[in-house]
């Protein structure tokens, strides 16, 4: 999966670098869950916006007048998985609220968006919600654990991820 990143919200370069590594791990985990063909040779566009443009898009496409954390847009092009539009200020607040690093909050939401682009929709039924969030949480935990294990093995060299 190739990433195209549009950074209109001045997301720090360290977060973007973290996200690139995270997306590789998401791709690998989704492959283990049978989604290799759905992701093979696909491009994923990640766009970061500030509050006002994110609010405008949410109102336009979902009829909700607030800046949301993430919006997913499917693509009709065969080489594209779609586009995820994220509001960086909202994600930073959520990270604090959820007790996560900004990188992990960002990673969690990108994983959430990718699952939407693969056809999962937690808003259609309780069963669909359970299925999506179970897979999302399993993948998130597996990836998060890989960062903890890497940190432990390189803790003397690198203090923060």
Read off the CATH number of the domain in which 70 is found: 3.40.390.30
Lowest mean pLDDT among 6-15, 21-30, 82-91, 142-151: 142-151
150 or 30, which is more confident? Answer: 30
Confidence at 158, pLDDT banded by 50, 70, 90? very low
73, 62 contact by CB (below 8 A): no
Confidence at 161, pLDDT banded by 50, 70, 90? very low
Residue 131 domain-assigned (yes or no): yes
Confidence at 148, pLDDT banded by 50, 70, 90? low
Residue 137 in this model has a pLDDT that exceeds 90? yes
Residue 160 domain-assigned (yes or no): no
Residue 153 in this model has a pLDDT that exceeds 50? no
Residue 110 domain-assigned (yes or no): yes
Residue 159 domain-assigned (yes or no): no
155 or 36, which is more confident? Answer: 36
Task: Supply the range of the domain harboring residue 129.
Answer: 2-153
145 or 71, which is more confident? Answer: 71
Average confidence (pLDDT) over 12-23: 94
Residue 158 domain-assigned (yes or no): no
Q: What is the number of domains present in the chain?
A: 1
What value does the mean pLDDT of the chain take? 89
**Cα(43)–Cα(83) distance, rounded to whole angstroms?**
9
Residue 157 in this model has a pLDDT that exceeds 60? no
List own/partner pairs for 48-51 with CB under 8 A and 24 or more apart: 48/5, 48/6, 48/7, 48/8, 48/9, 48/11, 48/86, 48/87, 48/88, 49/8, 49/9, 49/85, 49/86, 49/87, 49/88, 50/8, 50/9, 50/87, 50/88, 50/89, 51/87, 51/89, 51/90
């Amino acid at each position: 999966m190739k990433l195209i990143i549009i950074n209109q919200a001045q997301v720090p370069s360290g977060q973007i670098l973290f996200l690139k590594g995270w997306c590789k791990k998401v791709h690998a985990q989704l492959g283990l869950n049978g989604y290799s063909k759905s992701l093979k040779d696909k491009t994923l566009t990640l766009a970061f916006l500030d509050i006002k443009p994110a609010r405008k898009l949410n109102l336009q496409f979902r009829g909700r007048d607030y800046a949301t954390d993430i919006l997913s847009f499917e693509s009709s092009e065969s080489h594209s998985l779609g586009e995820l539009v994220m509001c960086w200020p909202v994600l930073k607040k959520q990270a604090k609220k959820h007790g996560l690093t900004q990188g992990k909050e960002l990673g969690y939401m990108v994983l959430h968006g990718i699952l939407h682009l693969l056809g999962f929709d937690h808003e259609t039924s309780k069963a669909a919600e359970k299925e999506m969030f179970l897979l999302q949480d399993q993948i998130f935990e597996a990836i998060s654990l890989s960062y903890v294990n890497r940190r432990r093995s390189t803790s003397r060299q690198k203090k923060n991820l």
